[in-house]
Each structure stands twice: as C-alpha cells, then as structure tokens.
Structure 1
C-alpha cells in the first residue's frame, strides 16, 4: 500500500492551527467519523463537539452556533463555519493540503463514484440494521448490491487505487459500519474486507483516541 502521501505536511496552512477548529457531530454517525479521518491523516489539531442526541443537546445548542444552515456534522474554524458533510470534507482537504486524496486526472471521477456510493450507504446501513421487514428489504435491495459492487471494485487490492484516496476513507467508514451493524450479513464478505479494514484502520484510526473533547 502506498501511504507516502499520508505524511504530507500541512505546509502554509500550518499557521491556521492557531485558530481553533471545532467539529460537531452526532456520536454514532458515520459522516462525522469521515470528517475526522481527514484531519487525523496529518495530525491536524481539532476539538470535538460530540452530541449523543439530536433531539436534546443539538436542538438546545444549534441556534447559538452561528451556522447558516444548522446541521450535523458542522465545522467552526475561527469566524468561519459550515455544515453538510461533503462540503466539510472538501474544506478540510484544502485546509490540510491533501488534494492528492481526490485522485488525479480522470481517476477523480472513479474516486468520486466510490465516495458517493459509500455516502449513500451510510444511511442505508442504518436502516438495514433495524429488525423490521422494511430494514430487511433495504438490506436485500439497496445495501447488499452496493456492497457487492465495492467487493468487485476492490478485488484483492490493498486499497481501491494506486494511492490512498478519499474513496478509501469513505469505504472504510461504510464497511466498518456494515460490519458492526449487520454482522451476520457481513460474514459473506469478510474474506475480502477484513484485511482491507485492518490495513486502513492503522492509517486512519491510530490518532483518533488522542483528540480532546468538549462537552455539549
């Protein structure tokens, strides 16, 4: 696995570290984790505003944050604030000079194929994990077919493309969620995805536990 790019310096943006970067996200939501991994790759400092409930903490605090479009996740960076996960990811990639994660040339569009498939899977996996008839239908008709497509795209490779990309960050998050929330179904795909998840975990998760938190 080519991981050399993960050691890139933040460069000219390093001076921005003097401005506190706050990430607000729902504790068990996969989109918030994707946002954090972008920063963890280069050990960019941030503070977490972790919400355990949308209906209580978030509703109480969202009007006080100054967001144009209050939603989770969100980023507050000095006097700049945005929401919507795809928007946040793009901002953080630029902030940390990790544009290589988009891929190069026409490969960018293939990277985005996987990125958007996995982003759609986040909510579908949550629905499929419910022990209901509707959940089973979502699993069979919407989750498993896309998991099969990801399995075919990955094959026996250590990552989806020659270099680490945003596709891997999204796929790691989606597949890990699938493994946790639909463990019996995941077993069918374990031989393909277990080695992949283990390799990516070393790269993407090793610093997550070191981050400071603020209580909301």
Structure 2
C-alpha cells in the first residue's frame, strides 16, 4: 500500500474507536487525525477534503472518501479481509444488533452529559441503564458477547472503557460481568500495544 488510510474524528474515542481497534488488530498503518479544536474541522478541513458528505468521523483511502461510522467500519472490515468478525450464519444479525445497540448507548451517554440534577438521574435510569442491563444479561458468563470474538466485542470495548472512565459508579454495577471481557480484549497483543504506546485516546 503506497498510502496510508486516513481516519479523522474528534480527539476522544467516540464513534471512531471501533474502526481504530479494527485497524490496530489488522496491523495496518493509518493516519489518525484528531480534532481537538472545532475550528480546525469546521473552519478548515470540513469542506477542504473533498468529502461527498462532510462529517466526523471520515475515512480517506486513496480515491475512497466516506463518512458515517458504520459505513466506515463496514468498508474496513471488507477491505481488511476481516469479514469473519461479522459473525457466523445467523449470528451476523446479532452482531449487527449489538453494534447498533452499543452505538445507541454511546449517543445516550453523550446526551447525559448535557443534563443535570433530577433530569440527569431520570435519563440515566430510564434511557441508559435498561440498555446497559440488556448487554450485561446477554454477555452473562460468556468469554465474548457471541461466545467467540466478533466485531461486537470491539464496540463493547470502546463503550466499556468510556463508561468506566466517565461514569465509574455506573460501570461498577456491571463490573463483575464486564471486567473479564474488557481484560480479555485489552490483552489482544495489538490492542495492548496500542494502549501502552499512549496512542489510545
């Protein structure tokens, strides 16, 4: 490959993180563009990169220029010949469901940061915790969400690390079940190196 894949997103993990994990475990060199200042995106790159539908995250791979996190992940999983991570047979639909569910939880956690007091507690209890409990129940005592390693686990790792960092008390409610999978995923050599090299947002 004469060029590097370029993946652009805000400075935090967010919606780009599963794609970063996928690139890392695939051993592919890529340029991880992170925008810490809104002006660098809105005032500079948003309309200068030739993206058909300018948004974050974005991916540029030669002549391919795409946006939207799920589209980016699907593009990469096929390009990198990792389609086995989409699941076996009908498990594919469960993997898709988990990817969407975990993405939805991430969106709701972001919305939670904009709420205060009783409104925040109500939103957490009614709009966030029930969905986390669904993940908790589905995982149970399995080694991976589907019982074997899939793309859903990469989404889970991003979600679980964020939850533990920003909402530690909430994470603690599920730690007995979540910790094992988080530890298992963080021990994957490429992900362990990624974290230890301080490149992980």
Q: TM-score with structure 2 length normalisation?
A: 0.90
CA contact (8 A) 2:57 2:67 kept: yes
CA contact (8 A) 1:21 1:46 kept: yes
Q: Flag the structure with more relative contact order, 1 or 2, with Cα contacts below 8 A and sequence separation at least 6.
A: 1
Q: Count matched residues.
A: 195
Deviates more, 1:33-42 or 1:120-129: 120-129
Alignment of 1:200-211 (within 5 A): 200-203=185-188, 205-208=191-194
Deviates more, 1:63-72 or 1:153-162: 153-162
- Tell me whether 1:18 sits opposite 2:2 in the alignment: yes
Residue of structure 2 equivalent to 1:42: 26
CA contact (8 A) 1:126 1:181 kept: no
CA–CA distance in structure 2, aligned partners of residues 190 and 129 of structure 1: 22
The match for 1:113 among 93, 97, 118 is: 97
The match for 2:182 among 189, 197, 202 is: 197
The match for 2:157 among 172, 178, 200 is: 172
| 5+ long unaligned stretches in structure 2 | none
CA–CA distance in structure 2, aligned partners of residues 96 and 164 of structure 1: 16
CA–CA distance in structure 1, aligned partners of residues 74 and 36 of structure 2: 25
Residue of structure 2 equivalent to 1:85: 69
Alignment of 1:1-216 (within 5 A): 17-53=1-37, 55-60=38-43, 61-130=45-114, 132-133=116-117, 134-203=119-188, 205-208=191-194
CA contact (8 A) 1:75 1:82 kept: yes
Helix, strand or coil for the counterpart of 2:47? helix
CA–CA distance in structure 2, aligned partners of residues 125 and 206 of structure 1: 26
CA–CA distance in structure 2, aligned partners of residues 33 and 39 of structure 1: 10
| 5+ long unaligned stretches in structure 1 | 1-16
CA–CA distance in structure 2, aligned partners of residues 155 and 130 of structure 1: 31
Helix, strand or coil for the counterpart of 1:50? strand
Q: CA deviation at 1:131?
A: 5.8
CA–CA distance in structure 2, aligned partners of residues 137 and 58 of structure 1: 34
CA–CA distance in structure 1, aligned partners of residues 157 and 61 of structure 2: 26
Q: CA deviation at 1:19?
A: 2.5
CA contact (8 A) 2:13 2:158 kept: no
CA–CA distance in structure 1, aligned partners of residues 32 and 198 of structure 2: 8
CA contact (8 A) 1:21 1:45 kept: yes
